[in-house]
Amino acid sequence: MGFRLLFAGLGVGLSLWLVGILVFGNPYPEFSAQGAAMMDMVWGRISLIDLYAGFFVGIALVWFLEPKAWVRWLITLATPLLGNPVLALWLVVRYRHLLTLSRHLLREVSER
């Protein structure tokens, strides 16, 4: 329990730090210019496609494996805003549940 609480606190702390940088750092004037520069570069477009594909796959797994509807919605809304640390935090917090699901699935597959 202490391990999960430590990582959950770390994830929440880092997410709040990121939000603080975004809100108090006033990155918005630069955001548009830097976004345009990324879209002008081939590897910038590839990086954005990779990033959002990862978000989509991670959120799809959450919707498939998470039993609580409010958690699914929270992850769906928070991931595009705060990034992959949200998905990493979910994996840490739900580790035992996911381990139980995987053992059950492996047992079913081996019985066939």
Range of the domain at 29: 2-111
**pLDDT digits (tens), the chain, 112 positions:** 577 777 777 777 877 787 777 677 766 677 778 888 888 999 999 998 999 999 999 999 999 999 999 999 999 999 988 888 899 989 988 998 889 988 988 888 888 7
Q: Model-level pTM greater than 0.75?
A: no
Rounded to whole angstroms, how far apart are CA atoms 6 and 46? Answer: 34
pLDDT at 54: 92
Rounded to whole angstroms, how far apart are CA atoms 80 and 38? Answer: 18
- Total number of domains constituting the chain: 1
Instruction: Give, in order, the Cα–Cα distances in Å from 36 to each of 8, 28, 44, 96.
Output: 35, 13, 10, 42
Q: In this structure, how many other beta carbons lie within 10 angstroms of the beta carbon of residue 87?
A: 20
